[in-house]
Structure 1
Amino acid sequence: MNAVNTDQNSFAPPAKILWRQVWGLAALLAAITFSWIAYGFYQPRILIRIGFSDLAIWLGIFQGLLGAIVEPIVGWFSDRVLGKFGSRLPLIVVGVTLAGLIFVGVSWLVETQISDGLRWVLPLLMTVWVVAMIIFRGPAIALLMSFAPTNQLPQANAILALVLAITSATSPILGLIFKQIGASMTFILGAIALLSGAVLLWRSMPRYLATGTTPKIAVLLLNKTSLTGYALPFLVGLGSGLEINLLLHLLPHRLFHAFDNLSVEYWQSGILLIAGIATLPLRSLFRRQQVTLGMGLGLLVIVICLILSFINNHIIYLALVATLGAMALGLVLTNTIPLALAMVSPSQAGFGTGLYFGGSGMGTTIFASLLVTQGEISPINGTISSLVALAIASICLYLFANPK
């Protein structure tokens, strides 16, 4: 990728993992996940209640497309902020503040009688909230490069993956709580969670509020080669995002049909919980130089598990397949951020994470579109989609690992 990096080493990684800072970042990611769960629980309910039933179906898809565009732009801008101020925290503070204020605003609006002429305010605020979350999520994740030596990024990222998976696994229980306390209190809790997560991150890293030497900005000279290089993290994110969504949809539905005493949401939580726990033993298998292999292996095993799940309906067989798939998901999560950071120069960490998670958002959008248009993803369509996703990600991983 032909990018002129004026000083790639002006902000060198630490000599050892800064666990306090890693856990501070994990706290913010837990708050982000909690907020997304709250938003996802009430968004369709609120839109249907105010008469936007059709919009409730398509707004998430539109917001996913918007995220795929905005995420890389915000990531690139966060690198510029780092180059100017020596810290990504200003952008994180702006995003957290905006998202928290919107949460509070929505909590007030849902308790008032909105006139027909002002109904559109809520969908607009929801979309702005998504953008606000994007403003600080990618830059926050890019901080990981400052918290761990290059060759130990998978070990540090395993903590983030563990917290992310366990927080996501609480979704059914949180849904029951949200239903009891109502939309207004749920959004207030979301705002409090975001503020608390940001404060914990801020307090964990006083030494990074300002740096002695300000990293210089990498100037991008885009040509055909560089555009191809920057497309790789986006496409890997797309393939992995689509595969993860298929895994968390198809396998839980197969388990539900075989053993219908537990709803799909609880099977999803079980898979996420196993994936989170699996990150701890898996984090030492692949060093920084091997994250490409770790990601490719995880994605391959996920597809194999999806295919195997359609061979037999026995609950024990499906439980074993789901466990293997969950462990493969843990492997993917462990290598996600180190891979995104490895695919760009050190001075473009925000851009790299933005490209990867923008692609992941596009994969989620494609999955949501399949659900909307098909109603239910059939085994054959699920298998074909997973194979296509694997092919996209594998080709891009190969091109990255074997540059000409």
Structure 2
Amino acid sequence: MTAKANDIKWPEIFSLGALNVSVVISWIAYHEYQPILLENFSFDHLSDFLIVSKAIILVMIPALAGLLADYLLGKNGKFFTLFTVGIGATAMIFMIVASVIGAGPVGALKPFLPYMIILWLISMNLFISPAYSMIEAFAPAQKLPIVMGFLFLVTELVYALEPLVVGLVQFFGDTLTFIVGGILISASGYFFHKISSDEVISRKKELLEAKTKPQSFISYVAILVVGLALGIGKAFLVEYIPASFETTFPDIGNAGSYISFGLLGFSAILAFAISKKVAIWNTQKVLSASLIIMGVGVLVLLLSSSLSVSIAGGIITAIGFSTLNISGLPFA
């Protein structure tokens, strides 16, 4: 590998970070307005259906999109075809939903709202998987923890600042929020596409062509376990802590939500701070230690009846979640 190929492609990584921020803000807006829209448009009965649909889409579409993007790259060298379709469709659906909201519950477009929500969920997951799969072409494997440290920092800080984002979303109102969401996604997607150099595309194609050795079943299981662990860690930090603290420690009111956001912010900053160190450590050892640390933190959260001990369990979980995020991709 040449010295140039051994460099981290920071312009591409910054553009991916901007795309990621746009996606996170869009998800926050979706979670804020979906129940409101369903109620205002008398689609409350579709709430459970949309929850199940979202789960299925989040599991299936990113994997299928990644496979299809690799297939298109290998066949005709056009890696960004699916990415462009996903970005364009998402931006268009944002605008259509804004039009539906603007017309109101009595508008002729009302019946299309549930279909637009489903199509939006699909299109959002069409482009993010191919975009993330470019990371391996942005940096050599041994420097991927540094890249993940930066991406994890910007992503989780936005999640940690969710109360501010929600306040901004509420200030804009539903129609303007969806218009701004469409602009953010299309603009960040455009710059990500344009900034990605021919050198990066060629590197991605070379890496794809080099992956001819079949992987063992255990390899796939290990990757799935890491993905599952990341999901569990995020669920405990984002969902379990606010709900558990609210019921177990009612005296603190809604402080559990702020503790959750604080732990996410701490996890993001820690990941960025130690990413250079993790890059020179043994990835599998870091991964194993991360799983153990996070497992201990989760157990403490589940078994504790003390506020201070529960907060300590949250901090331990956040530490394990942090190192797991920056070591998981290099391991995969």
TM-score calculated relative to the size of structure 2: 0.86
Matched, 1:302 2:294: yes
Alignment of 1:14-29 (within 5 A): 14-29=5-20
Partner of 2:128: 137
Q: Deviation at 1:60?
A: 2.1
Q: Which runs of 4+ in 1 moved over 6 A?
A: 218-222
Q: Deviation at 1:209?
A: 7.5
Amino acid at match of 2:139: A
Looking at structure 1, the residues matched to 198 and 40 of structure 2 have their Cα atoms a distance apart, in angstroms, of: 48
Matched, 1:278 2:279: no
Amino acid at match of 2:81: P
Partner of 1:108: 99
Q: Is the 8 A contact 1:255 1:319 kept in 2?
A: no
Q: Is the 8 A contact 1:79 1:217 kept in 2?
A: no
Aligned CA RMSD, in angstroms, stands at 3.1
Partner of 1:161: 152
Alignment of 1:60-71 (within 5 A): 60-71=51-62
Q: Could you say what secondary structure the match of 1:111 adopts? A: helix
Mind listing any 5+ residue stretches in structure 1 that lack a counterpart? 1-8, 343-404
Listed one character per residue, the Cα deviations across residues 137-180 of structure 1 (whole Å, up to 9, x for unaligned) are 01101111111111111111111111111111121221122223
Partner of 2:228: 238
Aligned pair partner of 2:326 in 325, 334, 340: 334
Q: Deviation at 1:237?
A: 1.8
Partner of 1:382: none
TM-score calculated relative to the size of structure 1: 0.72
Q: Could you say what secondary structure the match of 1:297 adopts? A: helix
Partner of 1:53: 44
Distance 1:219 1:298, change over 3 A: closer
Q: Could you say what secondary structure the match of 2:173 adopts? A: helix
Provide the identity percentage.
22
Looking at structure 2, the residues matched to 161 and 314 of structure 1 have their Cα atoms a distance apart, in angstroms, of: 30
Listed one character per residue, the Cα deviations across residues 194-250 of structure 1 (whole Å, up to 9, x for unaligned) are 12222332343334486499547589899xx85665454334323431342133222
Q: Deviation at 1:86?
A: 3.4
Amino acid at match of 2:124: M
Listed one character per residue, the Cα deviations across residues 232-283 of structure 1 (whole Å, up to 9, x for unaligned) are 4334323431342133222333444535244443222111101100102332
Looking at structure 1, the residues matched to 4 and 74 of structure 2 have their Cα atoms a distance apart, in angstroms, of: 16
Mind listing any 5+ residue stretches in structure 2 that lack a counterpart? none
Amino acid at match of 1:78: A
Structure with the larger RCO, 1 or 2 (CA within 8 Å, 6+ apart): 1
Listed one character per residue, the Cα deviations across residues 11-42 of structure 1 (whole Å, up to 9, x for unaligned) are x9921212222111111111111111111111
Looking at structure 2, the residues matched to 212 and 270 of structure 1 have their Cα atoms a distance apart, in angstroms, of: 38
Q: Is the 8 A contact 2:160 2:261 kept in 1?
A: yes
Q: Is the 8 A contact 1:305 1:322 kept in 2?
A: yes
Aligned pair partner of 1:42 in 30, 33, 39: 33
Aligned pair partner of 1:267 in 255, 259, 263: 259
Looking at structure 1, the residues matched to 97 and 75 of structure 2 have their Cα atoms a distance apart, in angstroms, of: 34
Q: Is the 8 A contact 2:65 2:82 kept in 1?
A: no
Q: Is the 8 A contact 1:153 1:288 kept in 2?
A: no
Q: Could you say what secondary structure the match of 1:16 adopts? A: coil
Distance 1:332 1:63, change over 3 A: same
Distance 1:115 1:235, change over 3 A: farther
Amino acid at match of 1:188: I
Looking at structure 1, the residues matched to 190 and 294 of structure 2 have their Cα atoms a distance apart, in angstroms, of: 37
Listed one character per residue, the Cα deviations across residues 346-383 of structure 1 (whole Å, up to 9, x for unaligned) are xxxxxxxxxxxxxxxxxxxxxxxxxxxxxxxxxxxxxx
Distance 1:34 1:116, change over 3 A: closer
